[in-house]
Amino acid sequence: MKKINVPFEIKDLGTKFLTSDIWFTLHDKKYKRVLRPQRYSKISRGERLKEAENELRKYFPDHGRDTSFLRASLFNATNTSRPDQILQRDEYTYYFKMLPSEIEKCLFLINVNGEQVFSKGIQGFADVYKLWHTEIKDLNIEGRSKKDIQVFVPFKVKPDCYIPETRKRIFYHGSSKRFDSLNKYSYVTPYKEDAIKFAIPWSSSELLIKDEEMSNLGRPPKCLYFKRGIEIKDSKVYLYSVKGIDTISSGSNTGKIFPWNRITLKEASKENKSLKLEKKIASWKKELNTYNM
């Protein structure tokens, strides 16, 4: 299982796709190599959950009556597992795929106009995905709905990758100077390329092309193209990683708060191993050309 630092970008499946294109996500407060349905006796408020899941049992006649289900979401059709939502969560996010034979054993749920629609198996998946794609998707985009396709999984799954809880994530800070400690209340980001760009002395008024998509996310442009006559001097950039330090979300220069723009709540240092020089970049122009490619 691979540890990743930032979420996948959501890929719209469209209307024609393979089951191997489908990703599922599940959130948990603990690190787990394998995700297993738990016995109700081991779950906080397990009796209440057991009562809530009684309706599901008609779809799973052979499933143990004292065992719950894994509750996952379809990552390709989601509003609660978007990258910004995942980074706001303090818990672990697991990503996994399933074989067609495994999808056949799962139950899918979607809420349409206040009505719960249950459907099982691959055909059931196709039915609820079609409902989401035709009736729910645009509402999600416009922020008027927070409806996901829920997936009830009656067996254990092994995740392909995961994002750890916030405190165990790695953040980055770029600087034109080399140092052994990073001050409290310093800006950090989970994106390496953003940390490098933040270390360069430029302003949005100097940009030839403004990346509205990235700007709306509170992130610098994917590519830095400057107006004619604007020459930003090439220089070294030191890229540092920060880990094991508490951070909180911080506002961008627009005043909006985004979960990937963060500030540290205590000093990070090389001495206590919370600060590490990841890379000495001799030329930020060459480095960003590599990222842009």
Q: Find where tokens 């978007």 sit.
A: 82
Per residue in 16-58, pLDDT (tens digit) is 788 888 999 999 999 999 999 999 999 988 899 999 898 899 9
- Contact 25/92 with Cβ under 8 angstroms? no
Query: CA 105 to CA 99: how far, in whole Å?
Result: 10
Name the token pair of 125.
Answer: 């998946």
Which one has a higher pLDDT value, 271 or 8?
271
Provide the whole-model pTM: 0.84
Residue 139's pLDDT band (boundaries 50, 70, 90)?
low
Pick the closest to residue 64 from 53, 77, 72 (CA basis): 53
**Phi and psi for 154 in degrees, rounded to 5?**
-90, 5
